[in-house]
Amino acid sequence: MLRTPAIRTALKASRPFVTRLAATPNYAHIIRRAESSTTSPDKEALKAARKAQDYLNHNWNQPILTYEQVKPKTTSPSPLTFSAIPPQDAYLIDVREPDEVIQGSIPSSVNLPLSVISNSLHLARETFKAQHGFEKPKTSQEIVFYCRSGKRSATACDIAKRNGYTK
């Protein structure tokens, strides 16, 4: 019986001390931040890497093409069709999966699924041609990616830019 009143009395006695601790500002984090203002070479390298990554993420200004702009590219022969003709200046690449391409595609396009595009752009030219059946685009060639809704083609554009493709 005496245990409950003793606990209540102890809690009431400690409340002003706990309240005082919570209300007292602690400036230790400001002091630590001021002491760590000197940067090491590792931090500078990390900062430069983040800045370069930010540049890649925010500096992609390639246009979104309309139907009228893409239609002339569809009438030119595919690099698959005429191997005697040198590869065209522009590639029309379908980034949908093969089961979606079966439903229909643009006749002069080539299929390079989004699921394999990042690994494929790192391949050597001969390996790329053996694996996909068409010449690997040069980094200076124009590449037009397309898919059903545009989301995968935007992702493919980002992947291509990160791999050095400029057009």
Residues involved in catalysis: 147
Rounded CA gap, 141 and 137, in Å? 6
Rounded CA gap, 146 and 71, in Å? 13
Structure tokens at 102: 């079966």
- Per DSSP, the three-state class of 143 is strand
Alpha helices by DSSP H, listed for 24-167, are 28-35, 41-58, 67-75, 98-101, 114-120, 125-132, 151-162
